[in-house]
Structure 1
């Protein structure tokens, strides 16, 4: 009888301590900011993420504020300052954050429909153009996305280096468009002749998402199709994007955040599906070490810039 009472008392004590611990971090963080890099235009990011942020607020029992960053660097600097507790990075921007001393830890990663955890950088041209390979574009305009974008700048520069192409000398102009969507639109509008972008599969890319939303039109208003674009360069596989939280958050808070992400596909399937148009499998755990190769890529691109200067 005494042993049973001791066991029950011990269980109650542990439960009370866990509850008190949860209340401690919630008292310290009654609301947090979840920031997302601008892989697409702000309205598209907000529409895609708002249902999930609502789920996250309910699951954590605190207010979660969605912040759509103006550029990739804003997410890095926001976490550096401690103003962004949870962030969705691109692989290169996360690597840049880690490389420059931001105390942030990756905890889950996007998983493609086939179970893979990577994607590609591709160069698009219009199918009606005469350009069949990169060498055909000497003296033309190149559209990149953002200096901290993996598929929109870092991997393209790495790939071009492998091909013996110095973009700043080979092209007439290198234009940063700010988002992957803007890069596609710049190509359609003729501002650039070739544009870098991300691509998972033939039916899953930034381009196909834009086409599904009727966002891509010619100058006369005609809706364009996938067949109106041609890929002339495709990179090696890039590790998928991570979600990361500040390293110095309370451990039980980080555990709760991570678990909420891992449970999202089951607990709020509609909100989860909206993030990737139903293309992704549930998130899986990831560590900082999984991005070491991406850090090496960033160092390589930095070395190219130093040579150019």
Structure 2
């Protein structure tokens, strides 16, 4: 026998079920288009080629249009999320930390992994293979190539390690050049614009240089590493904190299952050289916040 209490429970359940599609439509009405943006780690055409299948997959999974945007520089993705114009961003660790410390309401939800399951990479200094330089100290008066002020492996970690060596880049080197991307840093070294260049390096299987070699943009054997940092926490994907919870859940589910649900799209990004994206939270990047805060303090000391 159905009591009044049972009837009310069933009615409430029916209302909940009925409300779900309408609730989903609420965020689709507010977000008829979502923007996924990524920092310019390589040239724009390379990013578009690498990430277009992923954006198409995300659009299909979410049931709404997702547009790919390649940021002009690292700061552009930070400011785009601050303004609410970019709902999902693929950051570097330092640029994500910068977003957090400058008040952008954004949360990390997925992190890249390596084939061995680790979640980190390294900053390295490259020189040409045939150059006489064996260590950083040999490059006094030469030109240093960095990537972007908000790059982890291309600026913040290099400045941190140089400080530990008692080296002030602006006085030790003849010139410090920001190249704008990791690829451009290698090209600047290749062309002789700089004598040493900072870059990212995962392991012997993957690095920016190896990616460039696969695209016939450089020969990996033409360069050698003279310094490798300790491991840095891998790059995060992050969404706006104030997105509807059901939308964030759908984004998380789609991204964390990319490697199995659309292996072709996943392989297009990582070319079989990295593991699946896994869950992460903001706390993982607290050490990077400490890093950029330290680098900021160095800059303030020099300007004072």
Give the match for residue 264 of structure 1.
258
Give the match for residue 221 of structure 1.
none
Pairing 1:94–2:99 present? no
CA contact (8 A) 2:119 2:233 kept: yes
Cα distance in structure 1, aligned partners of 2:205 and 2:187: 19
Report the alpha carbon displacement of residue 20 of structure 1 after superposing the two structures with TM.
2.0
Give the match for residue 127 of structure 1.
129
TM-score, reference length from structure 1: 0.94
Cα distance in structure 2, aligned partners of 1:57 and 1:9: 34
Give the match for residue 34 of structure 1.
36
CA contact (8 A) 2:110 2:252 kept: yes
User: Quick check: 196-205 or 271-280, which moved more?
Assistant: 271-280
CA contact (8 A) 2:125 2:228 kept: yes
Pairing 1:290–2:284 present? yes
Pairing 1:169–2:171 present? yes
Pairing 1:252–2:254 present? no
TM-score, reference length from structure 2: 0.96
Give the match for residue 141 of structure 2.
139
Report the alpha carbon displacement of residue 8 of structure 1 after superposing the two structures with TM.
6.2
Report the alpha carbon displacement of residue 21 of structure 1 after superposing the two structures with TM.
1.5
Cα distance in structure 2, aligned partners of 1:278 and 1:2: 58
User: Quick check: 18-27 or 177-186, which moved more?
Assistant: 18-27
Cα distance in structure 1, aligned partners of 2:171 and 2:2: 83
Q: 2:194 aligns with which of 186, 192, 197?
A: 192
Give the match for residue 273 of structure 2.
279
- The RMSD of aligned alpha carbons is 1.4
Pairing 1:67–2:61 present? no
Pairing 1:48–2:50 present? yes
Count of matched residue positions in the alignment of Structure 1 and Structure 2: 301
Q: 1:159 aligns with which of 155, 158, 161?
A: 161
Cα distance in structure 2, aligned partners of 1:85 and 1:8: 37
Q: What residue ranges of structure 2 are gaps of 5+ in the alignment?
A: none
Report the alpha carbon displacement of residue 2 of structure 1 after superposing the two structures with TM.
3.2
SS at match of 1:2: coil
Give CA deviations for 1:254-303 in whole Å, capped at 9, x if unaligned. Answer: 11111111121111110011111122222111111111110000100000
Report the alpha carbon displacement of residue 14 of structure 1 after superposing the two structures with TM.
3.0
Give the match for residue 2 of structure 1.
2
CA contact (8 A) 2:120 2:233 kept: yes
Q: What residue ranges of structure 1 are gaps of 5+ in the alignment?
A: 217-223
